[in-house]
Amino acid sequence: MGRTRCFEIVVFVVLGFLGSALGDLQLGFYAQSCPKAEQIVLDYVTKHVPNAPNLAAAFLRMHFHDCFVRGCDGSVLLNDTTSTSAEKSAPPNLSLRGFDFIDRVKSLIEAECPGVVSCADILSLVARDAVVNRGGPFWQVPTGRRDGTISKASEALRNIPSPASNFTTLQARFASKGLKVKDLVLLSGGHTIGVAICSSFTNRLYNFTGKGDQDPSLDSDYAANLKANKCKTIRDNTTVVEMDPGSFKTFDLSYYTLLVKRRGLFSSDAALITDSTSRSFINQLLQDKLSNFFADFATSMEKMGNVGVKTRTRGEIRKQCAFVNS
């Protein structure tokens, strides 16, 4: 094989890799077709998120759920239909809130340029802008996602890991989306903000193995405190608990500090210190500066935002985020 030919092949392979890594998304996809779109999102977030700061966590989680079921295609935003129960109806969905906020952003953008900007892109942008508004990391959001037409609660249950998951399950679910252990560790860092409903972890406090016992991997002082002051019964599905107590509004490293103190709230959080690779990523994060976490989190979010996206002629641009076009 001649040297030129060999070079061509290398270029081809490298471009192919870049192409598949970035998908068909591109920064500023709407620069010509709807130049104000990203600014409309940012303005709306800047105006309203300070009055409802907890929405930042809600949107971050909503984006994660969207991407893990049929790719980041806005399927999490769809309502139940007469025949199917949608993703948003799959329990536990306490934090899947803020749908009306997304709907309002969508109608502002529709008024500017009808039928151009997808709900999937709006959700991706809102999640990023809301996190930045609360002092969290910035990440790039290339756009060009199109909206899916199918949303099923059963698929949410199959794809989104349960809080009771062990490391093997978490690793497998993330791998099935092209995400590595490093991404799992970093993206779980999203739990540095937000809240959880008691019933997502009370098994660890009251009935871990079905013998009325407590999870031995959970710090016993912390467990006692949760039982006495927060989650008084195993069935409590109304009380909410800060996942990163004392700093649940701040995007920082304290989630990882808690993990190594055996104070991760879910089994899925605790699982991250049971694997040596994962554990060493955590140790590294704790040794580094906050800015390293922010930069690495951004890289993983960009990967997550690219999972299974529908571009070009696939999917549609929904008119309303809760309904497919008829």
Ligand X SMILES: *[C@@H]1O[C@H](CO)[C@@H](O)[C@H](O)[C@H]1NC(C)=O
Going by the annotation, the residues of the binding site for Ca(2+) are: 66, 69, 71, 73, 75, 87, 192, 244, 252
Residue 271 CA to residue 277 CA, distance in Å, equals 12
Q: Which of 47, 38, 46 is nearest to 113 (CA)?
A: 38
Q: Is 131 exposed, middle or buried (0-12, 13-18, 19+ CB in 10 A)?
A: buried
- Give yes or no for residue 93 binding ligand X (CB under 6 A): yes
Report, in Å, the least distance between residue 256 CB and ligand HEM: 14
- In this complex, which beta carbon is closest to ligand X, that of residue 25 or of residue 105? 105
- Give yes or no for residue 273 binding ligand HEM (CB under 6 A): no
The answer to whether residue 63 is catalytic is no
- Give yes or no for residue 197 binding ligand HEM (CB under 6 A): yes
- In this complex, which beta carbon is closest to ligand HEM, that of residue 190 or of residue 324? 190
Helix (H, G, I), strand (E, B) or coil at 202: helix
Helix ranges (H only) for the chain are 3-22, 37-48, 55-68, 99-112, 119-133, 153-159, 167-175, 181-188, 202-206, 220-229, 254-260, 267-270, 276-287, 290-304
For residue 105, the partner it binds in ligand X, ligand HEM, none, with Cβ less than 5 to 8 A by kind, is: none
Among 170, 259, 270, 309, binds ligand HEM (CB under 6 A): 170
Among 54, 84, 133, 207, binds ligand X (CB under 6 A): 207
- Give yes or no for residue 226 binding ligand HEM (CB under 6 A): no
Residue 126 CA to residue 147 CA, distance in Å, equals 16
Residue in 25, 49, 62, 65 annotated catalytic: 65
Q: Specify the DSSP element, H or E, that contains 240.
A: strand 240-242
As annotated, the binding site includes: 66, 69, 71, 73, 75, 87, 161, 191-192, 244, 252
DSSP 78-127: PPP-SS---GGGSSS-TT---HHHHHHHHHHHHHHSTTTS-HHHHHHHHH
- In this complex, which beta carbon is closest to ligand HEM, that of residue 148 or of residue 305? 305
On whether the CB atoms of residues 72 and 315 are closer than 8 A, the answer is no
Residue 87 CA to residue 69 CA, distance in Å, equals 8
Report, in Å, the least distance between residue 298 CB and ligand X: 29
Q: Is 266 exposed, middle or buried (0-12, 13-18, 19+ CB in 10 A)?
A: buried
- In this complex, which beta carbon is closest to ligand X, that of residue 79 or of residue 247? 79
Site for ligand X in 139-178 (CB under 6 A): 166, 168-169
- Give yes or no for residue 58 binding ligand HEM (CB under 6 A): yes
Among 134, 145, 152, 191, binds ligand HEM (CB under 6 A): 191
Residue 128 CA to residue 108 CA, distance in Å, equals 18
What residues make contact with ligand HEM under the rule CB under 6 A?
Answer: 54, 57-58, 60-61, 64, 92, 94-95, 161, 163, 165, 170, 187-188, 190-191, 193-197, 200, 266, 268
What residues make contact with ligand X under the rule CB under 6 A?
Answer: 79, 88-89, 91, 93, 96, 99, 166, 168-169, 206-207, 210, 212, 234-235, 237, 322
Q: Active-site residues: which are they?
A: 65
